Chains A and B, each alone.
Chain A
Amino acid sequence: MRIGVFICHCGSNIAGTVDCTKVAEIAKKFPDVVYTAEPMYTCAEPGQTAMEDAIHEYRLDGVVVASCSPRMHEATFRRTVERAGLNRYMFEMANIREHVSWIGKEKDANTNKAAELVEIAVAKLRNNRPLTAKTFDVTKKVLIAGGGVAGIQSALDCADGGVPVILVERESTIGGKMAKLDKTFPTVDCSACILGPKMVDVAQHPNITLHAYSEIEDVSGYVGNFSVKIRKLATYVDWEKCTGCGVCSEKCPSKKTPDAFNEFTGTTTAVSISFPQAIPKKAVINARHCRQLTKGKCGVCAKFCPTGAIDYAMQDSIVTEEVGCIIAATGYDLMDWTVYREYGGGAYPDVITSLQYERLLSSSGPTGGHLIRPSDGGEPQNVVFVQCVGSRDKSIGRPQCSAFCCMYTAKQAVLTKEHLPESQSYVFYMDIRAPGKMYDEFTRRAMEEYGVEYIRGRVSAIYPDGLGQYVVMGSDTLLGEPVEIKADLVVLAVGIEAARGTRALAEKLRISYDKSGFFMESHVKLKPVETNTAGVFLAGVCQGAKDIPASVAQGSAAAAKVMALFARDKLENNPQIAFVDLRRCVGCGKCIRCCPFGAIKEKDIRGETKAQVIETVCQGCGLCTSTCPQGAAQLSHATDNQILAEVNALCR
Chain B
Amino acid sequence: MSAIRFVTSEGLPTFLARLSRNSRVLAPVVKDSPKPSVMFEPWRESMPVILKKATVPPKDAVLPQCESLFVYKKSKNADNPENVALHLDDTAHATPTVIFACRPCDARGFAVLDHPFLDGQFVDPYYKARRERLAVITITCSSGCNTCFCHWVGGGPTSPEGSDVLMTEIDDGFVLQSITDVGQKLLDATDLSDGKDAFPKVEAARKAAWTSLVPAPDIKKAPQNIAALFNRESFWQKHASSCLSCGACTYFCPSCYCFNITDEGDGFDKNGGRRLRSWDNCMSSLFTREASGHNPRTMKAIRMRNRISHKFSAYPRNWGNFSCSGCGRCIGNCPVCLDIRDIVQDAVAVADSDV
Contacts and interface: CB of A to CB of B under 8 A. Distances in A.
A and B touch in the complex (CB under 8 A): yes
Interface stretch (A23-31, A212-220, A392-400): A23-31
A550 interface: no
Nearest to B270: A652
B266 A28 contact: no
B271 interface: yes
Nearest to B84: A31
B271 A28 contact: no
Given A31-B268, A652-B269, A36 B293 contact: no
A45 B268 CA distance: 35
Contacts of B268: 29-31
B78 A28 contact: yes
A25 B79 CA distance: 9
B266 A31 contact: yes
A35 B81 contact: yes
B82 A29 contact: no
Contact of A34 (B78, B81, B269, B271): B81
Contacts of B266: 31
B262 to A, nearest CB: 15
Interface string B324-352: 00000000000000000000000000000
A455 interface: no
Contact of A28 (B76, B267, B269): B76
Contacts of A33: 76, 81
A29 B77 CA distance: 7
Contacts of A583: 293
B75 interface: yes
Interface in A5-41: 25, 28-31, 33-36
Interface residues of A, number: 11
Contacts of A31: 74, 266-268
A36 B267 CA distance: 21
Nearest to B269: A652
Contacts of A35: 81
A31 B266 CA distance: 8
B75 A29 contact: yes
A652 B76 contact: no
B82 A34 contact: yes
B78 A29 contact: yes
Nearest to B82: A34
Contacts of A34: 81-82
Interface in B261-307: 266-269, 271, 293
A30 B74 CA distance: 10
Contacts of B81: 28-29, 33-36
B79 to A, nearest CB: 9
Interface in B59-80: 74-76, 78
A29 B266 CA distance: 12
A583 B266 CA distance: 28
A624 to B, nearest CB: 21
A35 to B, nearest CB: 7
Interface in B27-80: 74-76, 78
A33 B293 CA distance: 31
A468 to B, nearest CB: 85
Contact of A25 (B75, B78, B271): B78
Contacts of B293: 583
A36 B74 CA distance: 19
Interface in A296-317: none
Contacts of A29: 75-76, 78, 81, 268
A28 B268 CA distance: 12
A172 B293 CA distance: 61
Interface string B235-267: 000000000000000000000000000000011
Contacts of B269: 652
Contacts of A36: 81
Contacts of B76: 28-29, 33
A296 B293 CA distance: 71
A583 B285 CA distance: 13
A29 B267 CA distance: 12
Nearest to A24: B78
Contacts of B78: 25, 28-29
A35 B80 CA distance: 9
A89 B267 CA distance: 26
A183 to B, nearest CB: 73
A286 B67 CA distance: 82
A29 B268 CA distance: 8
Nearest to B268: A31
A30 B271 CA distance: 14
Interface in A22-64: 25, 28-31, 33-36
A25 B293 CA distance: 41
B22 to A, nearest CB: 36
Nearest to A2: B82
Nearest to B83: A34
Interface string A110-129: 00000000000000000000
A541 B198 CA distance: 102
A28 B74 CA distance: 13
21 contacts: A25-B78, A28-B76, A28-B78, A28-B81, A29-B75, A29-B76, A29-B78, A29-B81, A29-B268, A31-B74, A31-B266, A31-B267, A31-B268, A33-B76, A33-B81, A34-B81, A34-B82, A35-B81, A36-B81, A583-B293, A652-B271
Interface of B: 74-76, 78, 81-82, 266-269, 271, 293
Closest 7 CB pairs between A and B?
A28-B81, A31-B268, A34-B82, A29-B76, A31-B266, A28-B78, A34-B81
